[in-house]
Amino acid sequence: MSTSVIAETVQTAVRCDPTLRFRRVAGAIVLPLGILLQVATNTLYALLTMNGGSDATGDAALALFSSAPSAWRLVALLSMAGSLLIVAGLPAALRVLRQARPRLSLVAGILMMTGYVAYFGIVAGTGLEIALATRNIDAGAAIDASQDGLLSLPLMILFVVGNILGTFLLGLAVILGRQLPWTAGALIMAWPICHITGLIVGTEWFAVAGGTLETIGLVLLTAVALRTPDAEWASRG
């Protein structure tokens, strides 16, 4: 197929798809916004646990949630909203990276989408736990049992793999693709590195720092998507 025919086909696709520019711009914007909401979640979690407390067990979670139920509801809502925005924005990131690193970016995108869908499912149960906590119901053992079941374990595994490995691979795709400064990929990869470090050290502030750096890296990726002409965006499939 000649270059002129390809160009004409692309222009036709642009004209026939009135949502193309909206999807390009909206998708590019909501991805870093979704990560920013996760940063807000991590920040609130760090602030709410500064004086101790944990949600590692059912009894501990009930005690923690009963201390500030409204704040914990906000944490859950921000987490779920951020997850939805990330899933909606990842296709824009994949289209930016498709030409340079199609396979790697696709694997990273699928893992991240799966991870944040799983995270949405995990966080969705927080409302019930808060309700139990505020009604002084002794349900800690039941919460632990529900999280050890066959339904919860796959969600947790998918979330960990998608959140940690998927994000790392997305940053790697940015670095290897060479469409953006390598620092953009390094900033994205800061999230899994800082998050794991925080789990080892035992503080949420590493997650806050990692998420903030990831947001900056994704903003750089967003800038590329916003500068890409509609015709070229359509040609990437």
9 has a pLDDT exceeding 80: no
Please report which confidence band the pLDDT of residue 190 belongs to, taking 50, 70 and 90 as the band edges.
very high
Percent of the chain beyond pLDDT 70? 89
* Mean pLDDT, the chain, whole residue set: 88
Which pLDDT score is estimated for 52?
A: 84
pLDDT for 149 equals 63
The residue extents of the domains of the chain are 23-231
Give the mean model confidence (pLDDT) for residues 2-18.
53
Higher pLDDT, 122 or 3: 122
Three-state SS for the chain is CCHHHHHHHHHHHHHHCCCHHHHHHHHHHHHHHHHHHHHHHHHHHHHHCCCCCCCCCHHHHHHHHHHCHHHHHHHHHHHHHHHHHHHHHHHHHHHHHCCCCHHHHHHHHHHHHHHHHHHHHHHHCHHHHHHHHHCCCCCHHHHHHHHCCCCHHHHHHHHHHHHHHHHHHHHHHHHHHCCCCHHHHHHHHHHHHHHHHHHHHCCCHHHHHHHHHHHHHHHHHHHHHHHCCHHHHHHCC
Note the pLDDT tens digit of each residue in 197-218: 999 999 999 999 999 999 999 9
Closest CA to 38 of 83, 84, 94: 83
In the predicted model, is pLDDT for residue 7 greater than 50? Answer: no
pLDDT in tens, 104-150: 999 999 999 999 999 999 998 888 888 887 887 776 776 777 676 66
> Across residues 175-188, what is the average pLDDT?
94
pLDDT at residue 5 greater than cutoff 70: no
Handedness of CA 162, 164, 170, 173 (dihedral sign): negative
Provide the pLDDT confidence category of residue 167 given band limits of 50, 70 and 90.
very high
